[in-house]
Amino acid sequence: MPSSHPSSHPSSRPSLHQVVVDSRDPRALARFWAQLLHAQVVDRGRGWSHLEVPGGGGVRLAFQPVPEEKAGKNRLHLDIRTGDIEAAIAEVVGLGGARVGETVTDDQGAFQTMRDPEGNEFCLVRRSGPGWRPAR
């Protein structure tokens, strides 16, 4: 007998809607990320902004105002896929971000830890696959 519990119906199951970043200046930080991800910024009420990312799969990246500065390491970070880590590093730095350490290469590909202008960590990621070779 089918369950009548609401979570058994696909339309009522929880799903990821957006990832929210705390920010001292949401509008400025949204513009950094919009340039990096080739997205459109939507400024909302109460100081919020979010991105409309082409091909984003329906999950938004949003920015909410908070009074305090970032403190400590992120407990969650974004992995941003790229085909050329060095070019992406230069783009991030040119937009006001910063490189953290050196590029790491392993059997899964390569990644570079970065920080956005407010210090939030994220990684630029190049996955291994056909034609992939480790950086030397």
pLDDT digits (tens, 9 = 90+) for 15-68: 889 999 999 999 999 999 999 999 999 999 999 999 998 776 778 999 999 999
- pTM tops 0.85, yes or no: no
d(CA 58, CA 81): 17
**Tokens representing residue 95 in the block:** 């937009």
d(CA 78, CA 86): 18
- Token look-up 């920015």 returns 63
pLDDT tens per residue, range 64-96: 999 999 999 899 999 999 999 999 999 999 999
